[in-house]
Chain A
Amino acid sequence: MGGCFRQGASALAARSGRLSISPSRRRVPEFTLNDARSGRDIITRFDLNMTEGSASKTFNGDACHRSSNGKSAGKNGYVKNHCMYRQPQKYRRPREKNRNVPHNSSLYKTPFMESFEETPLMVAVLTYMGYGILTIFGYLRDFLRHWNVEKCNVAREREEQKDFVPLYQDFENFYTRNLYMRIRDNWNRPICSVPGAKMDLVERVSQDYNWTFEHTGKVVKDVINMGSYNYLGFAENNGACADAAIEATHKYGVGVGSTRCEMGTLDIHEELEQLVARFLGVESSVAFGMGFATNSMNIPALTGKGCLILSDELNHASLVLGARLSASTIRVFKHNNMQSLEKLLRDAIAHGQPRTHRPWKKILILVEGIYSMEGSIVRLPEVIALKKRYKAYLYLDEAHSIGALGPNGRGVVDYFGLDPKDVDIMMGTFTKSFGAAGGYIGGKKELIDYLRRHSHSALYATSMPPPVAQQIITSMKIIMGEDGTTLGADRLRQLSQNTNYFRRKLREIGFIIYGNDDSPVVPMMLYMPAKIGAFGREMLKRNIGTVVVGFPATPIIESRARFCVSAAHTKEMLDTALEAISEVGDLLQLKYSRREQPLPSLGWMSEESLLQARWFVYGGEKKEKEKRQQQQEQQRDSSRHTDCQLLQEVPVPDMDNARATTPRWCASS
């Protein structure tokens, strides 16, 4: 147990590390800040992508070779002198977070639009104040419990262990006892129907402020489900998939009763694996019964001592656990920040292993397709360019993106139009889009054969139940169009339409939402601790089930609600949900966004001309011309140079703090 708490504490440290990035944010060259400030609407943001690349390219072309000698680029002096665009640094709060500033738009076929609007200062201050007040009351309650004025309902130090190291006194425990408990009714709510577009909830009440719950025996009917990862709507109890699964149950039964390596391989597993390989466009694949274990048990089989793992700071707990179990050295780069990643790669190659300075045996980059808390999409083209350049391996976790992204539903690789062979290890789960359970790994045949022999998941875990395998096979065939219908294509189209509609509307209403415009995961910022509880309750009153997320799954002030759009949602459902969200947004004052609102829609204007109009209103005419020039320059440039940006001073994130959150606050996963 202690270990678990330790982990939590380091997660906290990692997160607070992330919270304090503001000085480093300021270190980003000034021109990016300027652009980021004007990056209020979509077009400008896109243009920003185009310009930054060329600007830093020419000027840092050789600076970087030098900087790899010194420990940090800043020490070198050379980089600084050559960064001509930099103006004296002033303090300025950027409107958009520069989480992922410079990038190479030449690598992207479609515009990559991602935004993380800055927390308004006032809101941040009030949020901290709220936490402060709650903390004071937490101490008061702890004090009362300590002197037995109040009954203590949670685990505490036993009398005979008084002088041992305290177990329940760290911040996580305090937080659970005194903050989480008060709004616990928003999580772990039992569902009593298919978690499809609508679901039924078991009604429950608490007489003692959420310490215990009682079921009233009633059911809350037809709650619109905005929380399940049911991207393509395959969580159904009728239709082709369910029928096939029933048939498979009649044929094979449910249990397999052995592992894949012993007697647990059925023909249906072989069929599934071939289909997955075909779907992904890789040579071979292997399927496991659990997605979490696919990550946490396969990474240790791939890397070991003397290997280096470069992990995104917001990676899922399963990836973090796998990386830790592998006994490799773990270094964490900033979320989706390619400069940070390149800096780590460069240092890894230049310095080798600590002390011995031998080269690393392997360098493995761990990234996710869609990050489930931020709604951001990995900058895969850049990651692949870096990976190729520095000869590292790439492990891509497509848990949320497989099925949900790309014109053919084949994940981020499909979304960016890349070659699946460029990703060494394609991992994903069947839990989300396919409405089933389990995970897969796809890649070269040698790799998969090796994993079959060496992964704990394959050796020791009971194989996937046949009905589950059948559900995956049927749903995957529907997505691929192999069932002879266009149902799969319809679902994909519906999902992307729903996503765009829902995100656009939320933004128009004036909420701060995070992430990529194409990501079906839509985090909406709530910030204040009381609003987490109030939002969940108010939404449920309006018959809409949402997931609200707070610390430790997010940084402490960035509490949010997370909507997952599904292809099963109809436009009416989304409209109902949006109306309710807007109403609750007014009631709770959640419309924080200070972005310039788009002009009111003129009926006869097409979307394009509207954008154009907006562009002129902002007086972007002249700038646009310049930007076009720069774009052309950049294109010329990129044909000459290799496609990787060379970085300048990037503060290295804390090396030892990989993140492992206990995703207690996040209801389903």
Chain B
Amino acid sequence: MKTTVACRMIFKNLREYLAWLYYQYLLITGIYVLEPWEKSIFNSILFSAIAMVIYTSYVFVPIHVRLALEFFSGVFGGQTKSTMTLMN
């Protein structure tokens, strides 16, 4: 009896696997049925959006994290300091 695991695809190499993944992406988003120029529009919009998200997170996240850290360390640090002074 055959196994019933959903993914029984056997891939010869990574390229084939990536091609299959791209095919799944085409099918799930539905752009499989589109004409090539429409596909490229969709892909470029999607990828530029993703690129922008990544870029913004790369640029802004460290700053925000640092600010947040500073803020919280300010809050807690200040508190501990003051409580320490009080206790002392």
Q: Using CB atoms and an 8 Å cutoff, list the residues of chain A in contact with chain B.
A: 126, 129-131, 133-134, 137, 140, 179, 182-183, 209, 508-510, 528-531, 533-534, 582, 586-589, 591, 597, 600-601
| New A-B pairs, 14, CB < 8 Å, besides A133-B29, A588-B27 | A126-B28, A129-B28, A134-B34, A137-B34, A140-B38, A182-B33, A508-B4, A530-B32, A534-B32, A582-B2, A589-B6, A589-B7, A600-B1, A601-B1
Q: Check A587 against B4 for contact (C-beta < 8 Å).
A: no
With most chain A CB atoms within 10 A of its CB, the pick from B20, B23, B28 is B28
Q: Check A531 against B27 for contact (C-beta < 8 Å).
A: yes
Q: Check B26 against A530 for contact (C-beta < 8 Å).
A: yes
Contacts of B26 in A (CB 8 A): 530
Contacts of B2 in A (CB 8 A): 508-509, 582
Indicate whether B48 reaches chain A with its CB closer than 8 angstroms.
Answer: no
Kindly provide the distance from the CB of A530 to the nearest chain B CB, expressed in whole angstroms: 4
Kindly provide the distance from the CB of B59 to the nearest chain A CB, expressed in whole angstroms: 29
- Label chain A's interface by main secondary structure: helix
Q: Check B31 against A133 for contact (C-beta < 8 Å).
A: yes
List 24 A–B pairs whose Cβ atoms lie within 8 Å, in order of A's numbering: A130-B28, A130-B30, A133-B42, A134-B30, A137-B34, A137-B38, A137-B42, A140-B38, A183-B33, A508-B2, A510-B6, A528-B28, A528-B30, A529-B33, A530-B29, A530-B30, A530-B32, A530-B33, A533-B32, A534-B27, A586-B8, A589-B7, A591-B6, A600-B1
Indicate whether B9 reaches chain A with its CB closer than 8 angstroms.
Answer: yes
Q: CB-defined interface of B1-28 with A at 8 Å, one 1/0 digit per residue?
A: 1101011110000000000100110111
Kindly provide the distance from the CB of B23 to the nearest chain A CB, expressed in whole angstroms: 8
Q: Check B4 against A510 for contact (C-beta < 8 Å).
A: yes
Tell me the number of A-to-B contacts counted with CB atoms below 8 Å. Answer: 68
- Total interface residues in chain B, CB < 8 Å: 22
Assuming the contacts A133-B42, A137-B38, asked whether A530 and B31 have C-beta atoms less than 8 A apart, the reply is yes
Among A131, A182, A509, A531, contact of B34 (Cβ-Cβ < 8 Å): A182
Q: Bound complex: CA of A3 vs CA of B26, how far in Å?
A: 37
Q: Check B28 against A209 for contact (C-beta < 8 Å).
A: no
Contacts of B4 in A (CB 8 A): 508-510, 591, 597
Q: Check A209 against B29 for contact (C-beta < 8 Å).
A: no
Q: Using CB atoms and an 8 Å cutoff, list the residues of chain B in contact with chain A.
A: 1-2, 4, 6-9, 20, 23-24, 26-35, 38, 42
* A602 (CB) vs chain B CBs: closest residue: B1
* A123 (CB) vs chain B CBs: closest residue: B28
Q: Check B30 against A589 for contact (C-beta < 8 Å).
A: no
* B32 (CB) vs chain A CBs: closest residue: A530
Q: Bound complex: CA of A129 vs CA of B42, how far in Å?
A: 14
Q: Check B33 against A533 for contact (C-beta < 8 Å).
A: yes
Q: Bound complex: CA of A601 vs CA of B2, how far in Å?
A: 10
Q: Bound complex: CA of A534 vs CA of B31, how far in Å?
A: 11
Q: Bound complex: CA of A588 vs CA of B42, how far in Å?
A: 21
Contacts of B20 in A (CB 8 A): 587
Kindly provide the distance from the CB of A190 to the nearest chain B CB, expressed in whole angstroms: 22
Contacts of A510 in B (CB 8 A): 4, 6
Q: Bound complex: CA of A517 vs CA of B30, how far in Å?
A: 32
Q: Bound complex: CA of A137 vs CA of B41, how far in Å?
A: 10
Contacts of B33 in A (CB 8 A): 134, 179, 182-183, 529-530, 533
Contacts of A140 in B (CB 8 A): 38
Q: Check B30 against A133 for contact (C-beta < 8 Å).
A: yes
Q: Bound complex: CA of A133 vs CA of B26, how far in Å?
A: 11
Kindly provide the distance from the CB of B49 to the nearest chain A CB, expressed in whole angstroms: 13
Q: Check B8 against A131 for contact (C-beta < 8 Å).
A: no
Kindly provide the distance from the CB of A143 to the nearest chain B CB, expressed in whole angstroms: 13
Contacts of A130 in B (CB 8 A): 28-30
Contacts of A531 in B (CB 8 A): 27
Assuming the contacts A509-B2, A597-B4, asked whether A586 and B30 have C-beta atoms less than 8 A apart, the reply is no
* A135 (CB) vs chain B CBs: closest residue: B30
Kindly provide the distance from the CB of A185 to the nearest chain B CB, expressed in whole angstroms: 11
With most chain A CB atoms within 10 A of its CB, the pick from B8, B28, B30 is B30
